[in-house]
Amino acid sequence: MSKKVVLAYSGGLDTSVIIKWLAKRGYEVIAYMADVGQGSDFNTYKKRALATGAVKVVVEDLKSEFVKDFVFKSLKADAVYESGYLLATALSRPIIAKGLVRTAKKEKAQFVAHGCTGKGNDQVRFEVTIKSLDPDLKILAPVREWELKTRSEEIEYAKNNNIPIDTTKKKPYSIDVNLWGISIESGKLEDPYYEPDEDIYQLTKGIDKATAEPAYVEIEFKAGVPVRLNGKSMDGISLISSLGKIAGDAGVGRSDMIENRLVGIKSREIYEAPAGWTLLAAHKALESLVLDRETLHFKDLVAQKYAELAYYGLWYTPLKEALDKFIDETQKNVSGVVRLKLHKGNCAVAGRKSPNSLYKKELATYEEGDVFDQSLAKGFIEIWGLPYRGSYKGK
Ligand code: ARG
């Protein structure tokens, strides 16, 4: 029986070489491409995969599922890894892995393969997800074990084996793109003190090039999900891309961080997520208006855990599912409108309103119409501080 493998194919050098490498070892390779908004030229890549030795190419448009079931879940959770990463790459891995498993079933393949190295998070995310969906599938990770140690050796291999790749193009960084953002690493970035050139950025303008005038945007949420931009009703994909353009032009959405990978390595990362950071600011502003204090504070703890689960490849796990239920429960009232001012890299909340607002002007006001009985505060404070009366022995 022939050995069939479904490979997560990106169209780039690594996964093109993998097609040949596997074919030479007797595998029938099916190249699988998921469209998660990376803007790839799938037709060119399809031809490339077939010319390299793939027996079949499967392309699936997963953009709306990606937005609905991954990106917006993460947004509802306010998930951010280590204060700077909106998880664009991390969120895309489980949906691609699910696509691999689905395709393997359909094609009756016993193997799936990916092009991740042995030093990153992505191998973990792919493999944990694949095994949680189908423990019987066998996973191949050629880059972890093959003899091609450097990029030039891979290019050499590609030339010797007539693999149609664009070898003239220099590849100074490792870049992963989807509709939620861009992740850039390696190359000159490996020096943490090196300031990246402006041309590394694809979605955001630098402060000096950003639009001079502030851009105001109005975002409407329904149950925690953004549904309108500047009064116009939009699906998630168009909302993210329209907002991303406005925010990116205003210089909003960059991060430069030293990040802790799951495999124990610290790594320098540059991220761009202009729509993401704007939506996060808006979503949090709305939550602050409609959620009670205890839910809001508890949700902050959950956000941290949620980000870790997504980052660590634990998307399809019982805890993550349970947290989604908790988060959805908190989002029932997160409907309303937030207005933001985007200017020279800054994303400021200008105003927020909601029919579910818990803000009560008659309690907060220092002007006419105050209904808060200040005389009650005295007793409240005495009882609140009772356990601590005279208890502090320090100086
Ligand atoms: N460090 C990020 C993460 O683990 C980004 C990885 C980006 N992958 C890439 N091939 N450039 O999610």
pLDDT in tens, 132-148: 999 999 999 999 999 99
Structure tokens at 357: 């607002």
pLDDT of amino acid 377: 98
pLDDT band at 69 (very low <50, low <70, confident <90, very high): very high
**Tokens standing for 115?**
């092009």
Which positions are annotated as active-site residues?
A: 14, 93, 122, 174
Q: Please state which of the ranges 22-36, 151-165, 247-261, 288-302 shows the lowest mean pLDDT.
A: 151-165
- Residue 169 confidence class, pLDDT cut points 50, 70, 90: low
Q: Is 130 in the pocket of ligand 1 (CB under 6 A)?
A: no
Q: Please work out whether the CB of residue 307 comes within 6 Å of at least one atom of ligand 1.
A: no
- Looking only at the bridges linking them, the beta strands covering 266-272 and 181-185 are antiparallel
- Answering whether pTM is above 0.75, one says yes
Give the model confidence (pLDDT) of 244-283 as tens digits: 999 999 999 999 999 999 999 999 999 999 999 999 999 9
383 phi/psi in degrees, rounded to 5:
-70, -40
Q: What is the pLDDT of residues 322-359, one digit of tens each?
A: 999 999 999 999 999 999 999 999 999 999 999 999 99
- Name the residue with tokens 């890549």: 45
3-class secondary structure, 379: helix
Q: In this predicted structure, what is the pLDDT of residue 87?
A: 98
Task: Please report the pLDDT score of residue 171 as a whole number.
Answer: 76
- What is the C-alpha separation between 147 and 195, in angstroms, rounded? 33
* pLDDT for residue 168: 59
Contact yes or no for 112/139 (Cβ under 8 A): yes
Q: Give me the pLDDT at residue 263, please.
A: 97
Report the residue among 70, 269, 308 best suited for mutation to probe ligand 1: largest number of ligand atoms under 8 A from its CB.
269
89 lines ligand 1 (CB under 6 A): yes
With pLDDT > 90 as the criterion, what percentage of the chain qualifies? 96
The percent of residues in the chain predicted with pLDDT above 70, rounded, is 99
| pLDDT confidence of residue 141 | 98
Of the pLDDT bands very low, low, confident and very high (cuts 50, 70, 90), residue 151 is confident
pLDDT at 29: 98
pLDDT exceeds cutoff 80 at 1:
no
Q: How far apart are the first and last CA of the chain?
A: 80
Q: Indicate if the pLDDT at residue 167 is higher than 70.
A: no
pLDDT bucket at 285, cuts 50 / 70 / 90: very high
- Cβ atoms 316, 129 nearer than 8 A: yes
189 lines ligand 1 (CB under 6 A): no
340 forms bridges with which residues in the sheet? 217, 349
Domains of the chain and any CATH numbers: 3-176 (3.40.50.620), 179-353 (3.90.1260.10)
Average pLDDT, the chain: 97
The pLDDT score that the predictor gives to residue 302 is 98
